[in-house]
Chain A
Amino acid sequence: MKQKAERKLWQKFDVFSVIIYVLLAVIAFSMLFPFWNAVVLSFNEGRDAQMGGIYFWPRKFTLSNYEQVFHTPDIWRAFFVSILRTVLGTLTTLIVTPMFAYALSKPHLKFRKFYMGIMLVSMYFNGGMIPTYLVVKGLNLINNFWVYIVMWMFNAFYATIFLSFYRGLPASLFESAKIDGAGEGTIFLKIATPLSKPTMAAIGLFVAVNHWNAWQDNLLYMKNEAWNTLSFLFVKMIKAQESLEGLAAQTGVSELSKLSSVSSTTIQLATMMVAVIPIICVYPFVQKHFASGMMIGAIKG
């Protein structure tokens, strides 16, 4: 991999190559710069940031935004709620979904066609926001931490990935274990699961990232502030600021919006970094998996 790729017959370096490289460099820059700018602002003094004109580097460097963040108990709490839901959510998904797929990979499974059908239905049809909300309400899951977990435990797309993996395993692997008297549960745990480790790791990473980033279930089903997730804190920050800015625009008092958002933008961005750093940490692993094209198979269906 390290050695330079051999240049093919048609890949000669001409003026168009230069244009392509420049274009791609511009695209990459415009992808990276807005994020970098947010990072820079989180290290800048709040009042100074309000004057604008900060692009690539902090004008008045400070760590006080981060200090503020670390001294806010609500942020700590939301951080741990997010960690809890991510860990529990990923673990339960990695139990429920592959278990289902493993059973369905057995052609002799009774009602297999029915299970398959119901899985396909769940892939393409859903009741929509309100009926789902009413069911969740009926199950007493409103304002209940477990609403973050149970609705994600089964995922039909990941199930199809596991299903094609288990189907690809040679039947002889399982037959010898069966002759030794192992039950299906043991075979699943001792033979199928260790073999599926790479698949588990890849899907686990995706599930974890999705859990970490989720905010809509918090908005719809969790009114208890104590169980807010980190991702949802940002929604609340945006809404709080919007209402102030709206007020300022309506009353024509531009000083009001200036006053209220003094230093708050930079602190908000520092809080944002707390949510983004874990994503940056797992990103190399995630990228390795999806670049291999595995997740695309799931999209293609």
Chain B
Amino acid sequence: MSELIEHSRTPLLLTERKRVSVANNAAREILGEHMLGQDVRVAFRHPDAVALLDQSSSGTATVRGLVRRLDIWQINYKRLDANLGVIELVNQTAEADISRAHTDFVANASHELRTPLASVIGYIETLSDEDADYTPETRGRFFATVLSEARRLQSLISDLMSLSQVEAEKHDRPTGVIRLKELVEGASIDAAGPDRQHRLLIECHEDSTIVGEARQIEQVIRNLVDNALKYSGINETVVVSLDRAPSGDARLRVTDYGEGIAPEHIPHLTRRFYRTDPGRSRASGGTGLGLAIVKHIVERHKGRLDIDSEVGKGTVFTVRFPASEKAVDDVS
């Protein structure tokens, strides 16, 4: 009997007197082996699900937070007789996420796009005023502002594009296998560019192989290195290191000796458009999206991002990725 459903891609469970008696491979993968033989409430603790499985007829419920917090699953329950029931699970997270991400995106982005646009319009109006008589220096200064605001818009749009790209792919597990060492070295030097290369100190002690998408990991490294260089003194060194955490995970650390980040800002750093000091961040060309992108990419790769900082001493960004043996295991 259990063989019949074992290989279905849809998570399916059989319950016998309110206990899980059979769960197919897909169901065990999302809910864990441990719920076999347990009370159904151990696997489905959401009150709506408990109510559904408790009632004496078949039915459907949509619940949030079945496997991971905030994911959305539809539970279809078919009661066969007094003791037996079948449960089918349908993941609806992706659909709900897309519409939510869309609303957030429009709300955040319109404000951020409007600011530089307003100053571009303002300066161009001023410049095109025929009655005004500006010296070439003044005009030059105005044009420079317009240009820098336009550039800011450009980088904002490209960051927004990559953020929405990353968010769209959030639910697809990456499949490529990449070696980190080469990637870290290449992307760090790339991010620094010829002018700032001398400030980089790259220490790749141990290479690690991880499951991931090279393009995205590269972006993580570029954003972190660029931030570190941007927000520390003009001659300060930035250390990029790659090694293994005690748990065997690949650990990438970007350390700067800048002015550090006050503790009250740290929890908010990965929020879109959050800035510790709006004026300075804009002046250095920041879009306020770099760390949000990093966070999304790290989450997609099942990694972890930690930020440690001491005001006056500097900041360490640590990214951990599960080493590939573990990750490969997870995928299969």
Q: Do they bind each other? A: no
